[in-house]
Structures are given as structure tokens and as C-alpha cells.
């Protein structure tokens, strides 16, 4: 999977007469395509996906996790990514973790910080028995999962058939397409390589933070630069 693959899929939907829609738009039985992105790994890659979709001319809903240990939606960089995704005409909301999250608090914080109204949330690792207890719309409601075709790229592949090969696509029926940006717009293609790349990027971010905010670490790196270990010196035998 890569960005060219994703662009090709979306353009074929458009050629077939589909129009991208948000979740809260009036439902149509045919030619309505709800594009959804659950952001599990990287706001940077979500932003890259949003730019691609803006170029194609479609709109999507991006769902971000408030308690994700991999990324922080409130960091300066990620805050700007999310706000720019919104400015591109997409919607942004919450990817709610039912195990560790506190939904009402998350909604209040997200709405105030990003100046949006949260009308629907996506569920991370859904617990089906208690979904009905939520007092807000969510992406697992029957009208999004049963009344229309639902297709996901979970685990980095379309495990239950490619959307363009489905009977629903051939018949022009409305669909919800869930994709995770990391699988499509990373410079890597293999799912494990993509994950390793995200880990590497986060390691670099952590080093940069300590370099900017920790004098002992900065002094340590300066000493290393001035007196590199023997095996790192230029011309050293390996």
C-alpha cells in the first residue's frame, strides 16, 4: 500500500459517481462515500494523508486518540498538524479508547482546544456489549456498519476483500471506508517496516527534546562529538 494506491482507489470511486461525505450528512443509499481515518500511530502521517486528499478533492473525518502513548495531540507540532487538517476542510474528532479513556472529559477538552464540535467518535478496540451505553454517535452504529457496506484496512491490508472488487461498489451502493494513514503514506511499504519507522521517528523526537531541554544530555553529546569512541573515529577499523 502507498499513496499512489490510495489516490487510485479514491479516483476510481469519484469516476464511478461517488461523492465523499461526512458522517452527519443526510444518508444516501447510493454513491455516498464516508471516508474515515483512525489515527493510531502518527499525526504527521495523518497530515500527509489530508494533504493528499485535499489534492484529490475529497473530504474525510480524522479521529485522534487523546491518551495515545505514541503521540501527544497537544504538542506544538501535532497541534499544528491537526489544526491544518481541519483548515483543509476535513473534520477532526476523537478516537476513543474504551479501556483507558474518559469520553465526556475527552470531548470537552478536544472541543475547546481545537475549536470544534464533536458529534461523533470512533472507537478504538470496541467493547461491543457497552457500545449502546455511549450517549454520543459512534462509527459502529448499524447505519454506518450494516445499512451501508463497511470496509477496513485493519492490520495493513483489506482482509475481507478490496473495496473496488466488492459487489456494493459495482452496484454503486454507499460505503464507509476506514483507512489508517500510516499504511498508505509512509515511505515504507511493509507493515512492520512502517511501525519501525514510526518508532525511529519517535526516538529522534525524544533525543531532540532532551537535547533542547537537558543540559547534562547536551554536554554529554558535546563530549561525544569532541572525543568520539575509538570505533567511531574516522578511518578506524571496524
Separation of alpha carbons 181 and 202, rounded Å: 17
Verify that 127 and 222 share a domain, yes or no.
no
Verify that 50 and 150 share a domain, yes or no.
yes
Verify that 198 and 174 share a domain, yes or no.
no
Q: How many CA atoms lie within 13 A of 202 on its CB side?
A: 15
Three-state secondary structure readout of 177-203: EEECHHHHHCCCCCHHHHHHHHHHHHH
Helix (H) or strand (E) holding 138: strand 137-138
Separation of alpha carbons 71 and 221, rounded Å: 25
In a domain, 238, yes or no: no
Verify that 198 and 84 share a domain, yes or no.
no
pLDDT (0 to 100) of residue 233? 54
Separation of alpha carbons 165 and 177, rounded Å: 13
Handedness of CA 150, 177, 137, 133 (dihedral sign): positive
CA neighbor of 184 nearest in space, from 212, 161, 156, 152: 156
In sequence order, the 6+-apart residues with CB closer than 8 A to the CB of 159 are: 152
What CATH code is carried by the domain that includes residue 48? Answer: 3.20.20.370
Verify that 72 and 163 share a domain, yes or no.
yes
Verify that 176 and 128 share a domain, yes or no.
yes
Separation of alpha carbons 39 and 46, rounded Å: 7
Containing structural domain, residue 119? 3-185
Q: Give the angle 56-21-30 at the CA atoms, nearest 5°.
A: 105
pLDDT (0 to 100) of residue 23? 96
pLDDT (0 to 100) of residue 73? 97
Verify that 176 and 196 share a domain, yes or no.
no
In sequence order, the 6+-apart residues with CB closer than 8 A to the CB of 54 are: 88, 89, 90
If you ran DSSP here, which 8-state letter would residue 231 be given?
A: G
pLDDT by residue for the chain (238 residues), tens only, comes to 776 799 999 999 999 999 999 999 999 999 999 999 999 999 999 999 999 999 999 999 999 999 999 999 999 999 999 999 999 999 999 999 887 778 999 999 999 999 999 999 999 888 877 787 888 999 999 999 999 999 999 888 898 889 999 999 999 999 999 999 999 999 888 889 999 999 999 999 898 889 889 999 888 888 877 766 555 455 444 3
In a domain, 237, yes or no: no
Verify that 225 and 113 share a domain, yes or no.
no
Number of domains in the chain: 2
Verify that 207 and 89 share a domain, yes or no.
no
Verify that 214 and 100 share a domain, yes or no.
no
Q: What is the pTM of this model?
A: 0.90
Verify that 171 and 143 share a domain, yes or no.
yes
Verify that 149 and 76 share a domain, yes or no.
yes
Contact 92, 65 (CB under 8 A): no
Domain final residue pick, 170, 185, 200: 185
Amino acid at each position: 500500500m502507498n499513496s499512489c494506491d490510495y489516490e487510485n482507489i479514491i479516483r476510481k470511486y469519484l469516476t464511478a459517481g461517488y461523492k465523499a461525505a461526512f458522517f452527519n450528512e443526510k444518508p444516501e443509499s447510493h454513491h455516498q462515500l464516508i471516508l474515515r481515518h483512525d489515527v493510531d500511530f502518527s499525526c504527521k502521517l495523518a497530515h500527509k494523508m489530508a494533504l493528499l486528499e485535499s489534492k484529490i478533492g475529497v473530504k474525510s473525518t480524522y479521529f485522534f486518540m487523546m491518551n495515545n502513548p505514541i503521540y501527544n495531540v497537544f504538542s506544538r507540532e501535532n497541534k499544528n498538524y491537526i489544526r491544518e487538517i481541519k483548515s483543509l476542510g476535513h473534520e477532526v474528532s476523537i478516537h476513543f479508547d474504551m479501556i483507558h479513556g474518559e469520553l465526556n472529559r475527552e470531548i470537552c477538552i478536544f472541543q475547546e482546544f481545537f475549536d470544534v464540535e464533536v458529534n461523533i467518535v470512533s472507537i478504538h478496540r470496541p467493547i461491543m456489549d457497552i457500545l449502546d451505553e455511549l450517549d454520543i454517535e459512534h462509527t459502529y452504529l448499524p447505519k454506518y456498519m450494516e445499512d451501508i457496506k463497511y470496509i477496513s484496512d485493519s492490520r495493513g491490508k483489506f482482509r475481507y476483500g478490496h473495496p473496488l472488487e466488492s459487489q456494493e461498489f459495482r452496484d454503486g451502493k454507499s460505503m464507509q471506508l476506514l483507512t489508517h494513514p500510516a499504511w498508505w503514506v509512509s515511505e515504507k511499504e511493509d507493515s512492520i517496516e512502517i511501525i519501525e519507522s514510526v518508532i525511529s521517528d519517535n526516538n529522534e523526537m525524544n533525543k531532540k527534546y532532551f537535547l533542547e531541554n537537558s543540559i547534562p544530555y547536551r554536554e554529554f553529546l558535546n563530549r561525544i562529538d569532541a572525543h568520539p569512541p575509538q570505533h567511531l573515529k574516522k578511518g578506524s577499523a571496524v
